[in-house]
Structure 1
Amino acid sequence: MIVTPSKGWLARLIREVAGPGELEALDPRDRSRLRDDTGISDADLLDILHARHVNELLPLALARYGIDADALDREQREVMHDLQRTCAHCGITRACRRLLDDDDVDTHRRVCPNAGTMAVLGE
């Protein structure tokens, strides 16, 4: 796998990587470059890759709040990274999926650790 940093590359990486093994298999210089380019530690990036729900639920949640995930990643990459990290560490993925599938944004706002950020971004 060749990873070249570009606009939205982290979102594409999360969507395209088959598993964390590919990231771990990168040459140490390439991993260092990824770390430097993104400001995300190896551990946080691995957490995001292990947390497959981030790829599915975060874009859905952002859309429910009226936010374009790709535009956010291009325009406010640091904010997107924070949202991804928070989502990766969240323990209520089943409830989140159900609330988003049911379009129950009001309840989602009460339980999602990213809700405050997404509400501000969606204004």
Structure 2
Amino acid sequence: MRTVAAHCLLSALLLAASGCKKDQDAQGPYGTCAPQTQSVKSATDVEGTVQFDTAVQQYVIYRAVPGTYDSMDIGVVCSTLPADLQVANAPVRFSGTYRDYGNAPQAGPAGRTYYYLELTKVTAR
């Protein structure tokens, strides 16, 4: 009887562990947030700057909107940036998907738009 119970417990643990692994793989290396929100635009191998945003209390990537002189996309990074990039004013090169942020903070100057940013790649420049 103990053997049957042990096998059932072991099987349940293996099943649970494999389920968690699949979820992690589906999210990509830097995580997914707000998957129910609409994908707004993508970025491929673009330059940005890391900042700690006090309005959302986490690291974000600022990117100047091409063709403008005062507009910024603020990507609230899903999951966590690598530790070596969690430095104010760190220049980065990244790729990913911007998603609708919804109820964005109103702090700061006009021309700043908040998005969730699902990174597929991020490196120091």
TM range (shorter): under 0.3
Larger-gyration structure (1/2): 2
Relative to the length of structure 1, the TM-score reads 0.26
In proportion to residue count, which structure has more strand?
Answer: 2
In proportion to residue count, which structure has more helix?
Answer: 1
Which structure has the higher relative contact order (CA within 8 Å, separation 6+)? 2
